């Protein structure tokens, strides 16, 4: 496969390095594209095979020339979220398939562009829902699909982002809804996708509320950070701020962002307490599904710990799953365990609860990333995927519709009916 990567920031490294290190005999990275010449050149250096002339680089305005000259089969889209749709549609129209980072896109206008272009061209997009591939999550899918707890009737799902990982969404492009759709789309796309996939259904109605409570100027004052700057690099009170991100102190962050600022003024370390931030940090949603199951969902971005807690109530018993996660994110102080801790408890009616043995795997996101990359880049050598973990534009769409509906519900204060919302926009999606 001839691969072009668009968006050469942090996340593209996973795809780039995976192809170079593990699948070089099968695939070639033929081109890289970005608006930022510094990041582009750095990515090209890392992607070039020894003894070759390197990988062709194109600034974003030359994307169409990239397609004509390099003729990629597949375009990997790893730009900020609001740009995914445009690149997906252009790649489809040029006859390419796409591997797209989550979320597929951030709003209904862009979703319609993607769905229409897919129908017109017949091309395919894989949305990389790495969370589906972690063995602990697959085990839950298996338990539910096999009817172990009977019919699932109700779910309580809480996701906690801690003050290291959670804060990171308030520093850069994610902090505005027009770029990321807010955390209910940008982050929750993973969680709502898991619910759709675990429960084998799609959302129908959403009622939500959301506020920004913590990452506010008032909180900075409460924390004794009067006189703070607009970014950490020149902040007069950085030394006493637990949320400081010191770009210069980390070689990867420095070369990826600090050294690249001159090209586009993209500051990776904006103050997390800025007044201008437009996304929520405290969100709750009540969701009804086509199968009849209902779910309560909470997402907070300033928790003392990172991870998830979920309870599935079924007609024969319940499953309680808890995962304390440790992500490799930068900046801030993390005051809890350095190791992931996962537990899954099965409690069948009339029996004592028992802890299940949870399968583990090595690698990012609970061992999910390497398995997902295997299915993307080397499917012939993987076991047939009996868990149906690959996701296309349909799964990608349903995963963002809960969040898009939740955003609309927050705005209007009303229940949002997803089918009506889609019909009003002329979007047709299989369930
Ligand atoms: N699945 C996961 O666990 C996971 C984790 C991190 C990020 N992501 C996703 O990956 C994507 C990228 O995130 P990131 O953290 O790497 O962001 P980033 O800001 O580090 O990188 C984005 C890159 O896109 C470039 N860019 C901006 N405008 C562009 C344009 N018009 N054309 C081409 N390139 C452009 C930027 O210069 C930058 O190099 C996002 O969609 C994000 O949601 C997914």
Q: What is the pLDDT of residue 146?
A: 97
Q: Ligand 1 — pocket residues by CB below 6 A?
A: 6-11, 33-36, 39, 60, 78-81, 83, 101-102, 128, 130, 186
Mark whether 228 and 188 lie in a shared domain.
no
Instruction: Provide the pLDDT confidence category of residue 361 given band limits of 50, 70 and 90.
Output: confident
Closest-lying ligand 1 atom to the alpha carbon of residue 11: 16
Tell me, yes or no, whether 368 lies in a domain.
no
Query: Ligand 1 centroid vs 152 CA: distance in angstroms?
Result: 36
Mark whether 291 and 341 lie in a shared domain.
yes
349: domain CATH number?
3.30.360.10
23: domain range? Answer: 2-129
Mark whether 80 and 139 lie in a shared domain.
no
Mark whether 183 and 286 lie in a shared domain.
yes
Give pLDDT tens digits for 259-301: 999 999 999 999 999 999 999 999 999 999 999 999 999 999 9
Tell me, yes or no, whether 330 lies in a domain.
yes
Alpha carbon of 412 to those of 2, 206, 406: distances in Å? Answer: 46, 12, 10
pLDDT at 337 over 70: no
How open is the CA angle 102-311-395, to the nearest 5 degrees?
25
Extract the tokens encoding 100: 């797209």
Give pLDDT tens digits for 7-61: 999 999 999 999 999 999 999 999 999 999 999 999 999 998 766 668 999 999 9
- Number of domains observed in the structure of the chain: 3
* C-alpha span between 189 and 106 (Å, rounded): 10
Tell me, yes or no, whether 386 lies in a domain.
no
For 231, the 3-state DSSP assignment is strand
Tell me, yes or no, whether 367 lies in a domain.
no
Instruction: Provide the pLDDT confidence category of residue 369 given band limits of 50, 70 and 90.
Output: confident
pLDDT at 371 over 80: yes
13: domain CATH number?
3.40.50.720
Mark whether 338 and 195 lie in a shared domain.
yes
Tell me, yes or no, whether 366 lies in a domain.
no
Mark whether 50 and 114 lie in a shared domain.
yes
**What are the residues whose beta carbons fall under 8 Å from the beta carbon of 139, sequence distance 6 or more?**
344, 356, 358, 359
Alpha carbon of 341 to those of 308, 326, 336: distances in Å? Answer: 11, 9, 11
pLDDT at 160 over 80: yes
Torsional sign, CA 131, 136, 142, 147: negative
- Work out the average pLDDT over 401-429: 98
Tell me, yes or no, whether 380 lies in a domain.
no
Tell me, yes or no, whether 370 lies in a domain.
no
- Alpha carbon nearest to ligand 1 atom 7, residue: 11
For 427, the 3-state DSSP assignment is coil
How open is the CA angle 50-54-55, to the nearest 5 degrees?
130
Mark whether 144 and 199 lie in a shared domain.
yes
- Alpha carbon nearest to ligand 1 atom 5, residue: 11
- Work out the average pLDDT over 56-82: 98
């Amino acid at each position: 496969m001839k691969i072009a990567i668009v968006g050469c920031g942090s996340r593209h490294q996973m795809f780039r390095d995976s192809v170079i290190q593990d699948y070089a005999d099968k695939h070639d990275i033929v081109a890289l594209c970005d608006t930022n010449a510094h990041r582009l050149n750095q990515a090209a250096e890392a992607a070039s095979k020894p003894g070759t002339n390197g990988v062709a680089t194109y600034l974003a305005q030359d994307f169409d020339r990239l397609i004509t000259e390099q003729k990629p089969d597949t375009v990997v889209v790893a730009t900020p979220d609001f740009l995914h749709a445009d690149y997906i549609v252009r790649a489809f129209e040029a006859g390419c398939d796409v591997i797209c980072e989550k979320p597929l896109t951030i709003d209904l206008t862009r979703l319609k562009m993607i769905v229409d272009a897919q129908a017109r061209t017949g091309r395919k997009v894989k949305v990389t829902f790495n969370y589906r591939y972690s063995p602990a999550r697959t085990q839950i899918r298996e338990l539910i699909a096999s009817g172990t707890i009977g019919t699932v009737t109700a779910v309580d799902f809480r996701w906690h982002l801690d003050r290291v990982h959670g804060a990171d969404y308030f520093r850069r492009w994610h902090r505005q809804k027009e770029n990321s759709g807010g955390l209910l789309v940008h982050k929750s796309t993973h969680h709502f996708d898991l619910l759709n996939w675990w429960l084998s259904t799609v959302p129908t109605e959403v009622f939500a509320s959301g506020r920004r409570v913590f990452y506010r100027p008032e909180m900075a004052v409460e924390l004794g950070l009067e006189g703070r700057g607009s970014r950490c690099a020149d902040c007069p009170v950085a030394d006493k701020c637990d949320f400081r991100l010191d770009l210069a102190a980390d070689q990867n962050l420095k070369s990826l962002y600090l050294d690249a600022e001159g090209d586009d003024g993209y500051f990776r370390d904006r103050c997390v307490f800025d007044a201008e931030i437009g996304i929520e940090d405290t969100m709750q949603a009540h969701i009804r599904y086509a199968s009849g199951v209902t779910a309560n969902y909470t997402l907070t971005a300033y928790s003392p710990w990172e991870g998830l807690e979920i309870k599935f109530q079924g007609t024969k018993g319940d499953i309680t799953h808890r995962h304390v996660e440790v992500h490799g994110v930068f900046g801030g102080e993390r005051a809890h365990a350095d190791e992931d801790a996962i537990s899954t408890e099965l409690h069948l009616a009339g029996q004592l609860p028992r802890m299940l043995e949870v399968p583990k795997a090595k690698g990012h996101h609970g061992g999910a990333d390497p398995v997902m990359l295997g299915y993307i880049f080397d499917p012939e050598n993987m076991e047939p995927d009996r868990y149906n973990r690959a996701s296309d534009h349909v799964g990608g769409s349903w995963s963002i519709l809960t969040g898009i509906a939740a955003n609309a519900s927050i705005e209007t204060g009303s229940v949002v009916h997803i089918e009506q919302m889609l019909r009003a926009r002329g979007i047709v999606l299989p369930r």
